[in-house]
Structure 1
């Protein structure tokens, strides 16, 4: 069972699912940033910016993995 889960993570379907869940996390970060700006909370705003950077990095890594699987035109076309 564990081996199947590991293989799924490296499959195209698994990568798409990971990209979707990572992008979904961006909604939460956007809400956090909006609230931080409204409340003028610099520390929460910094936290939201760091989280956003992590999301962008995570999506870039997942995209690179898709390219390695030979599916380099998925997002471009």
Structure 2
């Protein structure tokens, strides 16, 4: 099995999904800093940008959670 196919398999595993969720959630820290800076500078455009980015992060986490549940359902059926 090549390293590339192993990496693709990891991405679709529970561990890979957890790792992706963690890195996505880590991006929320950057958004929080961006929101704080936008509020202190009273910059509406940056605040809107941060809100849209936060919505993308929430959506991404929801999709990953759904994938995690699907992987969990598959594991129960296989076991």
User: 1:74 maps to which residue?
Assistant: none
Q: Which has the larger radius of gyration?
A: 2
User: 2:52 maps to which residue?
Assistant: 50
Which has more helix, going by share of residues? 2
Alignment root-mean-square deviation, CA: 0.9
Deviations 1:4-49, CA, capped at 9 Å, x for gaps: 1111000000000000000000000000000001000011001100
**TM-score normalised by L of structure 1:** 0.89
Unpaired stretches in structure 1, ≥5 consecutive residues = 72-77
**TM-score normalised by L of structure 2:** 0.87
User: 2:29 maps to which residue?
Assistant: 27
Q: How many residues align?
A: 71
Residue number among 20, 38, 41 corresponding to 1:39 in the alignment: 41
Segments ≥4 residues shifted beyond 6 Å: none
